[in-house]
Amino acid sequence: MTTSDSDIAIIGMACRFPGADSTDRFWEVLREGRETLTRFTDEELLAAGVPAARLADPRYVKAGQTIADVELFDAELFGFTPEEAEILDPQHRVFLECALTALERAGVDPERTEGNIGVYAGAGMNTYLLHNLAARYAGASSVDQYRLMLANDKDFLATRLSYKLNLRGPSLNINTACSTSLVALHTACLGLLGGECDTALVGAVHLGHARQGYQYQDGMIFSPDGHCRAFDARARGTVIGSGAGAVVLKRLADALADGDWIHAVVKGTAVNNDGAGKTGYTAPSVGGQAQVIADAHEVAGVSADRIGYVEAHGTGTPLGDPIEVAALTEAFRRSTDRTGYCALGSVKTNIGHLDTAAGMAGLIKTALLLEHRTLVPSLHFTEPNPDIDFAASPFAVNTETREWASDGPRLAGVSSFGIGGTNAHVVLQEPPTRSTAPQARDRELLVLSGRTEDGLHRATTALARHLRQHRDLDLGAVAQSLGLGRLGRRHRVALVAEGVRDAAMALALGDEERLVRGSVEHEPSAPVPVLTGTAPASTAELYKSVPQYRSAVDELAGSGGAAELLLSSGGPRAAFAHEYALVRTLLAWGVEPTGYAASGPGLAVAAALTGALAPADALALAAGTTPAGFAAPVLPVFSAGTGRWLTDDEAATAAAWTGTGELTAVDGALAGIGGHALHLAPADGTAADLGHLLGLAAAEWVRGADLDFAALRGDDTEAIDAGVPRRVPLPTHQFDRRRHWIDPGAQESAAPRVRERLVDRFDPADPTASLLLVTDHLVDEIGGVLGGRHLAGLDTNLFDLGLDSLVLIEVVAKLSEQLDVEVPATAFVEFPTIRAFVDNLAELLGLAAAPAATAAAAGRTSLRAQRAAALRG
């Protein structure tokens, strides 16, 4: 395998293409040589608004390459109100979901990933704004027009994603027509190599007018029958399709060091423009295309005779196909005289021309070919275009699924050429050979979460199916991918599994004796470990397989084999060492106690953990030696001896740390501080082994603990060779989509309704009734944005509900008109609940005394916390 410092790894991929809502389904389409064209009935077309006269025209092609359910979107996951989702360009919606899926497939959680994540993306023409929204918002207010612009302009595709997912690298919107995807990829590679970001998300989306055919006209790009016959004698064009794709990139050296799953390697990219040297603005150019391909070869440092496949732009037009093959031949002839050795294909024969996302479809297809070491057929090719001299070229159109034989690293090229002349070419190489690491331990903690119970159930089912189909996966890599590569959302389930097969079965059966379930509240309950100093039955496995446990015991025992002797000695010293190491491990894994509850020998452990005694002195205390003095504990300790929390004076005496008694009152004491007991001692008959320790971590994670899964895995990264995957592609978040759509022809204006103003309905003698009118008005307006009056709680922080300042500025503007008084536009920022806002307004209007509620009492949370809370659901 040849590598260089400029190599870029593709570590995650996601797509939503015609007939394929995932990369796995897309690979099935490609491997089976299927076309995903949809034929529409007259009834469907009439319902979609196609005039009957057009349907009668024999040139009207009743077919399209579409994706399903574009009107559906998981708005709450990304923190959109129903009204915001309704006016948001469906291209932005689809891309948000596709981008999140790509990151999760790569095992990248933005909240945990070190370094900056950049976004390089583009979208097609917004037909939703043109056909569905324009009439309805013709009379909108300036604020609504501004919101409409933010929701629908191409300029906000990448930056909206960066905002919603908290990505801090460059966020660039890139649009060069059909070559958008690969130009975005080229720009992202430069950003990675230049250090502007450490991970890059690259993608594009194009959604055509839903479920409509098109008018064929001779000489245009559109096919007369819906089929794209790239390079064939009968080729007459293509069909424009809808779709979205995204990939996640990282510098190859970093990807290998991090144990990322690598689908393919970007060896080189190039971009140029035809300039004026062609017959017209929309025409292609042999010279421009040949140069960009040759430039990419030079950047990649490869000779053309090593390239075994080219994914062509391949639109299937009588003019474009011969120009493309001529340009490819010219570029290849700069370094090879061989003929007929390089396979040629076009994904447009499968899924149509996806416009801005076309290059992304070609890129993902080619990465899959390299990863599977398989060539797939380019469809509808029977006889070559007579204007293409394949015999004298390096190329032959591949028409069957076959093994990709090669005597060296497999290399491929991907081309994408945009109307207007911006050309892009990418050279890809197969992924490095994946090494296999020895199984570190025979049990792992698997975690799954969802915004809703139903979403979690579907995620659990999907993972069970995937593990059943891929039993050769490394269980540790599965655990790491789930723990590090997913944001922990509200509804959670955890499983301590003994192998991939065991995990698949437990998840599929919903084994409630083994599955640990929980739901995270806004203020999670804090753990209070219960320390009893119970001697364990066996600790050898923990000492061997858990680095943090081993380190804590070594700290107590010193070197020279004393640790094993300490643990095996039995009695209070061994019990102390085990319980102390157990808690130290949980602390290292991210469990954060709010205090400790202790009885008997466990009090000595509590003394060590809270800093009241040095660990060595606490160990001596457990063995019966009373130390000279005690420091103030850094966390409260509930003592069985006193039946309550130790006071500072009590904690300074030896008697407080040596008492006896039962922890009978602990549950009541913990309820008062919002905590819960974490019982460290295993149940009767259960070994104090790795499974028990992982079970303790599982119980805390489902309650909301922010576990450090890198520490929990305990991998000695220096001992693992580069190339051993510690992340693997797994099923991703299961979206809870709802319909957010305005149908074409909706004439209702977004302008304020004409009705009697609030101020005209005020009763000067009854200020309370006047304030109730204002409150009801606000509940009506804000409820309309949120999707129902019941959602507009009087004491709920409106920003926590997903409302932004623009929405609330519009609400205030309408209220000002209703009251015939200027209400400060920023009032909701200072008073972010309806009740606090009305109380403050009452003072401004002279209807009440100074409000009791204040901004501090209202307690607006940070923007970052709002985003994290929205994603967690």
Using CB atoms within 10 A of its CB, is residue 41 exposed (0-12), middle (13-18) or buried (19+)? exposed
Residue type, 349: T
User: 10 Å Cβ neighbour count for 749?
Assistant: 14
- Looking at the DSSP assignment, which residues form a beta bridge with residue 15? 245
Query: Residue 508 has which token pair?
Result: 């599929």
189 carries an active-site annotation: no
Q: Residue 731: count other Cβ atoms within 10 Å of its Cβ.
A: 22
In 398-519, at which residue ranges do the beta strands (DSSP E only) sit? 402-403, 411-417, 422-429, 444-450, 491-497, 516-519
Contacts of 825 (CB under 8 A, 6+ apart): 809, 812, 813
H or E element that contains 699: helix 690-701
* DSSP one-letter string for 719-765: GSPTT--S-----------EE----TT-----SPPP---HHHH--TT
| Six-digit token string for 640 | 């069985």
Structure-derived torsion over alpha carbons of residues 588, 592, 594, 599, reported in degrees to the nearest 10:
-40
Q: List, in order, residues 6 or more apart from 729 with CB less than 8 Å away.
A: 12, 105, 106, 261, 481
In this structure, are strands 72-73 and 738-739 parallel, antiparallel, or unpaired? antiparallel
Paired residues of 267 in beta bridges: none
**Short-list 141, 120, 137, CA closest to 129:** 137
Q: Is 422 helix (H, G, I), strand (E, B) or coil?
A: strand
Instruction: Compute the distance between CA of residue 277 and CA of residue 327 in angstroms, rounded to an integer.
Output: 14
Q: Which residue among 313, 466, 491, 692 is the active-site one?
A: 313
Q: Which two tokens stand for residue 390?
A: 């394949």
Active-site residue, 197 included = no
Task: Give the span between the Cα atoms of 709 and 733, in whole angstroms.
Answer: 19
Token pair 């709450």 in the structure block, residue: 76
Q: What is the spatial distance between Cα 336 and Cα 495, in angstroms, rounded to a whole number? A: 56
Selected catalytic residue, list 15, 98, 178, 342: 178
Specify burial of residue 392 (Cβ count, 10 A radius: 0-12, 13-18, 19+). exposed
Closest CA to 593 of 647, 549, 633, 545: 633
Are 330 and 291 spatial neighbours (Cβ–Cβ below 8 Å)?
no
Estimate the crossing angle of helix 767-786 against helix 834-845, to 10 degrees: 140
Q: How many CB atoms lie within 10 A of CB 24?
A: 14
> Torsions phi, psi of 135, nearest 5?
-65, -40
Q: Which of 195, 193, 184, 134 is nearest to 161 (CA)?
A: 184
Question: What are the structure tokens assigned to 345, written together?
Answer: 């294909």
DSSP H helices in 131-278: 142-152, 157-165, 180-193, 252-258
Whether the CB-CB separation of 169 and 200 falls below 8 Å is answered with yes
Task: Report d(CA 816, CA 676) in Å as an integer.
Answer: 49
The DSSP letter of residue 176 is B
Q: What is the rounded CA–CA span in Å between residue 690 and residue 196?
A: 42
State yes or no: is 131 an active-site residue: no
Q: Are strands 395-397 and 342-345 parallel, antiparallel or unpaired?
A: parallel
C-beta atoms surrounding 657 within 10 Å: 29
Q: Could you list the active site residues?
A: 178, 313, 353
